[in-house]
Structure 1
């Protein structure tokens, strides 16, 4: 009886131990299933189809956040986003907290899918931001500590060399300042100062920077930025300048009726070609003309002993220079200050009139010369005829002939007697 009781007790103990073992095993199985569901939910929210080829899907899974919190650093004036990816079955609800208080999506806070975006960061936006996910089977939360840095300090610009068509600058990065963000890149802004031009923008790197294709002798302004406040503007100027005028009237020489201008004394200011415009007035004469630079031009048709005033305006791409000069023509009795042998630049109409006048004068002179030659020939023929009729003797006839005909001189040739004297008359 006693042995039977021991056997029964042993069987009961074995049964109890087996039951306890199975209970523990089921608990482990349950925990394993919960872990697998959580892992699969995270993968689904990452875009992976864990259940592809497997029709089994969990009926429930606690809310979980797959994103990691920590420290988020932004720069004032820029935008910053923090991403919170959640998963669970059923899909959990998500909300944001700032310093433990509910954060409502109103400017400058915006929701962009899984991310919270803050546009136009300010220093006071630095705080703790928490993402909370909840569903009926659980909840999860992740917190970020946001730090907002001041914008990078602006770099400085220095002028290294100025040339007629380009400027060489040096971009110097700012020193590191605590609490300021590091520069991500540099931008150079420059424009023509006068006349005021549009700002031009180009990327730049620390070191020498060259601006090319500029206007000669012109002012420019430039500054540089590194994503924050702009740096100080640098005023600079390309080399060269407007034309330089002669200091006095030594470039003007005159005689009684003409004035000669030596335009080669006008300097181009190292800025290329010069255009020269002259405007004169005096003695009831006025006029204006664009003249070439680099040689001599002559103004004619002036009155002797008269005062004239001439305004000269020389220009190039750097600007213009205006000067006014006075000169006086000489008197006819005083002779010429200098012989002038070239006309002032004229129009095509003026040249045509001048050529026609010269042709008319030449034709008139030729006509007069022809008339004089014919007249002399007729006189000589008449004299010869008289002398032929008068075959007289003696010197008296010569005097008589001298008295009747206008001979400048005559000759008496002696012939053997009783032949008469032969008188030969010459007009010169």
Structure 2
């Protein structure tokens, strides 16, 4: 993979223009734009637009080190289980410069940072005859290719991987294998890769730690303190071809290398979204449930519950939940001129929960009910606030100083 450096000009809107004028400019821009929102001030700013990076979908990840680096992956909006061409761009938000890092057949892209000085990004590359993990240091342009622990026969099936950076000693991932004909999960296991860094080159090897039961749908993990939590959706098949969905949490302690299975505080009708405080050891659990959908599809309301996961460290208690509060959120879409609400609601999707990690000021982006507004949850003040965005958010991540970075695409 080549790492060419591009010197295209960027559209910089970081001026003292009024917020309304900036929003109007962003609505008229026909290009995908990367922006940042300071939720406290309710203001939006478009940082730059990459003219040669006109894509239908962008995934954004932000560094947590001193350098304000932005990792953006390019992928088609309508994904398939087959590899697609994907570009990978590294943006320096301090001086608004960017460069193309690679272009390859990527199935998934998971950037994270091993140390504050050494940002490393991992890409799981799926090719016809091999699969590999690419660990890249974007600052010096060096990379290390590590073969993934997959037998060539497994490449005939669709598989997904979630990565989580834990500490300076290990990188953990969960691999899910799914058969294409019937779509049933038939294998899951967790593996990790220790590494050593020498002159920007990363060395390591794979090791299988734990195998999970089949028929389990694994979601992306979340690291809080010295424990990583994975939210899973266990499918229990009944004799009458019915499926009972049960939400679970798997807690893996990095210090003791042990697992704990934590039951959901609610029944199968609730959807679980773990939330983790930034630079904290507290884990919050957001339970969402669509509770009011009338027959005419005129209103859509969701009941959200916020739970705190406690671990007293005693064998007789262990992990247990404590409910903080309930809140009702209105997810009814705005009225569209010339379009009846009923037909519009029939194509309405469930609320999208964007950012599982908070900013330094403790805010979570917990819901994106439609393309023009989203909710911010502050656990310190125990309240939800409604914010309006100038266009649809495709992806979101957090960074220091209370800014939420996202890719904004005009609809």
TM-score bracket, shorter-length normalisation = under 0.3
Higher share in strand = 2
TM-score, L = length of structure 1:
0.15
Higher share in helix = 1
TM-score, L = length of structure 2:
0.16
Which entry has the higher C-alpha Rg, 1 or 2? Answer: 1
